[in-house]
Structure 1
């Protein structure tokens, strides 16, 4: 459960991620709570996913 967007937080609709997941069914899709659409300029979670064995 999320607490909702932070003040000044801009976000895309979660529906968009579901559209992308449907369009690219082999992709791994993960949502990160409490992060803006640019991941708060922190790509460490993305890098960790790329490095981890599939």
Structure 2
């Protein structure tokens, strides 16, 4: 991948790490959906993510 233009750097500033690489949060890293969130995000709210430890409302 080539160098990023100044305009692209401004657009991706929240996602860039200290090495100027686009970085996503741990849960989003392996996800195939397009709703990726930054590694800087404290709270992840993803409609496509379902925890394996979550308890159904029916009480399983």
Fold-level similarity (TM above 0.5): no
Structure with larger RCO (C-alpha < 8 A, sep 6+): 1
TM-score category, normalised to shorter length: under 0.3
Q: What TM-score comes out, normalization by structure 2 length?
A: 0.26
TM-score (normalizing by structure 1): 0.27
Larger Rg: 2
